[in-house]
Copies of this chain bind each other. A is one copy, B any other.
């Protein structure tokens, strides 16, 4: 099987055109945005041109299906609010290229997927969570983005593309090529990472509700200031988590909105995101306990009310041995001595899909370790090496079945 590097890179740049940010190679293509829908329509055309049968489920997950049992390759084509051109897009276009190359080589059968809302406008890898049955469509529809829009309303935008449910039983396994989104491969000078495990993640909204009031006439000791509660919670949490985490554990407050958010008003309400990740499920649970205890103590001490949104999350997942071995063999052929086995600190759709079938992943380097920013990039040589490893692995898996 021979991949066409020019065709692959050309398509990757074409996909970048949908939602191009005008800043470097950055894209703005969040789930269900106009740019996301235009990209999905264009991808559907490419799938059709590649002889694949296009199907779209109610979430907007887009499949290009080969006949009969097949290996599923892919990732997602939605982006962060300010995203790079490769996060998700690389895995989708690589899948398309390998599907074409496999057809040209007379097999094996390869299907392609672009999942919806991997980047979590509404939750965490929402599209593959619904497809894999871990989140019901009814529950998903109640999820609300930071602007107050529900997923149930937002997905009307894909209604005209929907064909119906897509059965997972036709797929023999799932392989996802992705950028690393961290500094490991870039700093070691390696070209390929074969993933051993994907860390688990927890994410929930936390709300402190105090008393909105005038910032000039309300004495400090009478204030119930929601921002002060967040700040004190953050300090307490940082202090307590240091005792239970590993160097790989991370936790983040990335979203915060104060109400009414004016310089002359003591903030009456603060809503923020609390997210934490670790490869060990027990440690994730221990962290949750510390987060909830710390928030309660601060709420009590500062006289503010505390409430939580639903706890969204994904369990840590080990990669399938057979698929992983095929990727390792491909890496050894394409990048002899310049690849490594490594965990994934980022979560991926593969985490959800692992509930349905064997999954594996491979990484290419992220320059400077940067991702979820317009500056995200990877050398084109490394992009091509990634799709070559994927093709090698698919060919090897096909010859064995």
Interface residues of chain A, those whose CB is within 8 Å of chain B, are 80-82, 119-120, 146, 180-183, 199, 201, 203, 212-222, 225, 227-228, 230-232, 234-235, 238, 245, 247-258, 260-268, 273, 275, 277, 345-347, 369-373
15 intermolecular pairs with C-beta atoms under 8 Å apart: A80-B260, A80-B264, A146-B262, A181-B214, A183-B222, A213-B370, A217-B369, A231-B234, A231-B235, A252-B263, A252-B266, A253-B267, A254-B263, A262-B372, A268-B373
List chain B residues, Cβ under 8 A from A254: 215, 227, 258, 261-267
User: Residue on B with the closest CB to A375?
Assistant: B212
A199 and B228 contact, Cβ closer than 8 Å, known pairs A120-B263, A256-B258, A263-B255 = no
List chain B residues, Cβ under 8 A from A372: 212-215, 262, 264-265
List chain B residues, Cβ under 8 A from A220: 245, 249-251
Helix, strand, loop or mixed for chain A's interface?
Answer: loop
Tell me the complex Cα distance, A82–B269, Å: 13
Check B201–A216 contact: CB distance below 8 A.
yes
CB distance from A387 to the nearest CB of B (A): 21
Check A250–B183 contact: CB distance below 8 A.
no
Tell me the complex Cα distance, A187–B14, Å: 68
List chain B residues, Cβ under 8 A from A245: 220
CB distance from A317 to the nearest CB of B (A): 14
User: Residue on B with the closest CB to A203?
Assistant: B263
Check B250–A216 contact: CB distance below 8 A.
yes
A182 and B217 contact, Cβ closer than 8 Å, known pairs A231-B234, A234-B231 = yes
Given B80, B203, B250, B263, which contacts A265 in the complex, CB threshold below 8 Å?
B80
User: Residue on B with the closest CB to A371?
Assistant: B214
Check B253–A227 contact: CB distance below 8 A.
yes
List chain B residues, Cβ under 8 A from A217: 180-183, 345-346, 369, 371
User: Residue on B with the closest CB to A241?
Assistant: B220
Check B263–A275 contact: CB distance below 8 A.
yes
Of A212, A215, A266, A370, the most chain B CB neighbours within 10 A belong to A215
Check B262–A80 contact: CB distance below 8 A.
yes
User: Residue on B with the closest CB to A268?
Assistant: B373
Tell me the complex Cα distance, A70–B218, Å: 35
Check A373–B216 contact: CB distance below 8 A.
no
CB distance from A25 to the nearest CB of B (A): 15
Check B256–A256 contact: CB distance below 8 A.
yes
A216 and B277 contact, Cβ closer than 8 Å, known pairs A120-B263, A265-B80, A268-B373 = yes
List chain B residues, Cβ under 8 A from A256: 227, 256, 258, 261
